[in-house]
Amino acid sequence: MAERVAREVLAEHGVDLGETERGRGWTNATWLARDLVVRVAREPGPADLLRERGIVALLPPEVGYPEVVDAGVRHGHEWVLTRRVRGENLEEVWPTLGDEARRAAVEQMWERVRHVHRVGTAAAAPHARSRSPFFPDDPAEATATLARLVRGGALTAAHADGLGRVLDRFWAALPDAEPVLNHGDFCTPNTLWRDGEVLALLDFEFAVIAPVAVDLNELVKIAYGPGDRAAMRPAVDPIVKSTVDEAGGPDVLIGYSVLLEAWLLEQELTAEEPDEEGRADATAMLTAFAEGDGGYFAPVVN
């Protein structure tokens, strides 16, 4: 049905679906024509695409989001049609980039998302998610997630206890952290790149009003996650140093990271075809955070 919706929408704009290519995306189906892109919710009913349209109408041009041509609901499926901005998905080209280009990309990504953070929360609130699927907003829910990971053999009880103490500090500090509009899924797969330049941030379906630590966490992980990432630190360190207080401090930043990695690990435990590298990384980060000294993020927040 999503393909039928895409076919009909594109036909009304003089485009044959057979002339398009399929795009990336795990929450929506995407088709790219020469000058247009249509995204269709995979399932009928309320989704995120029309909310995203409301969010992007508030974004300044510095974010680079493509022009929205039309949007609506057809055969029960939400859809959005935008102009196509010619570029490449940054995640796909990342392996081909040298360290200098990667550092420039990270700095430009952050420069663009800072314009998102400056959007007024009162105007954005009706369109942003009431809560992110990645971050429980209730301590009991977070505790239940850790308990499931222990039962599933992904974490030990000692790890869960240590992470619980980290989250206790997070919940205590969270009320004092100023909320802003976050992209909510700020990462290289949602970044458009061309000729050494970040052109746009895409896919605002998970936009949420929360402390800026939500987006900052993703940036820190680029430089301080598992693996050899030290080359990214000259770009990331100044951003963290200048933003961590605004984000609510290290306890809020690390708390959001724990919540996200716990969500990711649980997804991999239940996936039919789990990403073993992703599972290993999430496990490593949670195990390190359980020690209570900042884990992988310790060099930049302590």
Structure confidence at residue 24 (pLDDT): 75
Rounded mean pLDDT, 42-55: 88
% residues pLDDT > 70 (the chain): 100
pLDDT 10s digits, 81-125: 999 998 999 999 999 999 999 999 999 999 999 999 999 999 999
pTM: 0.92
E runs forming strands in the chain: 21-22, 28-32, 36-41, 68-74, 77-83, 88-89, 179-182, 191-194, 197-201, 208-211
Structure confidence at residue 166 (pLDDT): 98
What token pair was written down for 273? 């075809």
Could you tell me the pLDDT band of residue 45, with boundaries at 50, 70 and 90?
confident
pLDDT 10s digits, 169-221: 999 999 999 999 999 999 999 999 999 999 999 999 999 999 999 999 999 99
* Domains of the chain, CATH where assigned: 2-83 (3.30.200.20), 88-301 (3.90.1200.10)
Query: CA-CA distance, 216 to 242, in Å (whole number)?
Result: 11
**Spatial CA neighbour of 208 closest among 175, 239, 186:** 186
Phi-psi region of 64 (alpha: psi -120 to 50; beta: other; left: phi over 0): left
Count how many residues are written for the chain. 302
Structure confidence at residue 60 (pLDDT): 96
- Residue 84 per-residue DSSP state: P
Cα-to-chain-centroid distance, residue 140: 24
Asked whether the predicted pLDDT for residue 26 surpasses 80, the reply is no
Asked whether the predicted pLDDT for residue 249 surpasses 80, the reply is yes
E runs forming strands in 2-76: 21-22, 28-32, 36-41, 68-74
Structure confidence at residue 28 (pLDDT): 87
